[in-house]
Amino acid sequence: MTVSAVDSRVYGNLFTTAAMREVFGDRARLQRMLDVEAALARAEAKLGLIPAEAAAEITAQAEVGRVDPDAIRAGTELAGYPIIPLVKALGEACAGEAGRYVHWGATTQDIVDTGLVLQIRDGLELIEADLAGTEAALADLARRHRDVPMAGRTHLQHALPITFGFKCATWLAPIQRQRARLAHLREEVRVVQFGGAVGTLASLGQDGIKVVDALAAELELRAPRIAWHGGRDRLAEVAGFLGVLTGSLGKIATDVMLLMQTEVDEVREPYLPGRGGSSTMPQKRNPIACEFVLAAAKNVRQLVPVMLDAMLADHERATGPWHAEWVALPQAFALTAAALHHARAILEGLEVDPAHMRRNLDLTRGMIAAEAVMMALAPAVGRQAAHHLVADACRQALERGAHLGEVLAANPEVSAHLAPERLQQLLVPENYTGLAGAFVDRVLETPPGSSS
């Protein structure tokens, strides 16, 4: 029986991915801790602190399949930490005297934190792969629809004409920035934790720093200048990144959902039989993938403050904030994986309807290009006067159900400065997309993984 949606047999694959669940599942969690114990033994053996034969035996036995998960669970419930029963099991599995050297000079948090760092490293690799795919899908959409006109909207109202490629480029630029942030983050968080009981490594005497460096080398991590038992900023930064990333994905999903509304119908999620259907309305095609992107983003956003709060660790080793991380960070990774998975699928198969985009441009009968007329009149009559003239014409057009061009053409203050052909040209939405295409090109020229 499960409580969390990410572990549910019913909802699980909607709220995470199998790969991310594996990275942060119990088996991987325990294996990563065992990996740290084995690496510590090898590092200490190379420094002559424990026998080489003991390190080899510890490494050989440090396999999660060799430990009893029920015993680990029972021991964890008793002690409050999995390391105590795990170290006991590993020591008992080792032949001869090797078990005496398991966990030499370490403390529980050293192993748990370093194991978590290894999990984060694996999780960020999965995120990088899907993020790269999402970026590529957005770049393809922006390139293909660079010059496809559509209504730009502000405050949910028609504003000015843009292109769909321009809209895709506004989605793409933040994703490019996320990849640049991720490149920094992957290096920043790749740090071993090893400080002993209070961070001073007193148990290892003068050899402590050598062990830190050797352990980091064994695990292909960086050695910190000082233990970070109470300095949780790196982990908080990881959570913040996941929050910002899912926020960017949520923005895309929000726009796609709005563009899928029946009255708009400009884009649609990829079609699969039964996908997004209703139990009672046969005609429905709901934006179901978008909904799960938003659900994931909202939940990740709630987990970020937990990780920020966990930074308030008391003294050298925290009494409770540390434990909060065990819940929040794996959940944040799981949900982010789902958001990325759904967003990538949406964008790779997005159905775009340029005909409906063009139809919607005409809904306001020329008024979407009102600014173009105003700016053309401004040199002759002044901007404020031009704004007043065009605003009044828009009001009349709305009241009469007329095209804005008809009202403007009948106004002598307008016709005195704008010939009929010029007025007609100004009211063509495609003629007033500004530098949309140039901005698309600028975003597309950004090298992968670079910030724009």
Whether residues 22 and 137 share a domain: the answer is: yes
Kindly state whether residues 341 and 209 are assigned to the same domain: yes
Where a domain ends, among 332, 358, 384? 358
User: Residue 443 falls within a domain, yes or no?
Assistant: no
Do 255 and 124 fall within a single domain? yes
Q: Would you mind telling me the total number of residues written for the chain in this entry?
A: 452
pLDDT digits (tens, 9 = 90+) for 33-82: 999 999 999 999 999 999 999 999 999 999 999 999 999 999 999 988 89
User: Quick one: 132 and 70 in the same domain?
Assistant: yes
Query: 167-222: per-residue pLDDT in tens?
Result: 999 999 999 999 999 999 999 999 999 999 999 999 999 999 999 999 999 999 99
Look at residue 121 and tell me if it is in a domain.
yes
Active-site entry in 278, 323, 415, 450 = 278
| Whether residues 296 and 227 fall in one domain | yes
- Same structural domain for residues 189 and 327? yes
Residue 333 inside a domain? The answer is yes
Q: Which domain holds residue 397?
A: 367-426
Last residue of a domain, one of 333, 358, 383: 358
CATH code assigned at 135: 1.20.200.10
* pLDDT tens digit sequence for 397-423: 999 999 999 999 999 999 999 999 999
Say if 268 falls within a structural domain: yes
Report yes or no: 211 and 44 within 8 Å, Cβ to Cβ: yes
What is the distance, to the nearest Å, from the Cα of residue 127 to the centroid of all Cα atoms in its chain?
8
Alpha-carbon distances of 264 from 255, 299, 352, 357, 366, rounded to whole Å: 11, 29, 12, 8, 17
From 8, 145, 155, 452, active-site residue: 155
pLDDT averaged over the chain?
94
Q: Is residue 376 part of a domain?
A: yes
Structural domain count, the chain: 2
Q: Does 278 qualify as catalytic in the annotation? A: yes
In order of 31, 128, 177, 245, 384, the CA distances from 180 in angstroms are 30, 10, 5, 12, 44
Same domain, 45 and 171: yes
H and E: helices and strands count for the chain: 19, 4
Judgement on whether residues 304 and 390 belong to the same structural domain of the protein: no
Instruction: Tell me if 23 is assigned to some domain.
Output: yes
C-alpha span between 20 and 376 (Å, rounded): 56
pLDDT of 86 > 90? The answer is yes
438 in a domain, yes or no?
A: no
Strand pairing of 267-268 and 351-352? antiparallel
Could you tell me if 114 and 199 lie in one domain? yes
Same domain for 149 and 34, yes or no, is yes
pTM, two decimals, is 0.92
How confident is the model over 343-353, as pLDDT tens digits?
A: 999 999 999 99
* Domain-embedded: residue 434: no
Question: What distance in Å separates the CA atoms of residue 23 and residue 333, rounded to the nearest whole number?
Answer: 10
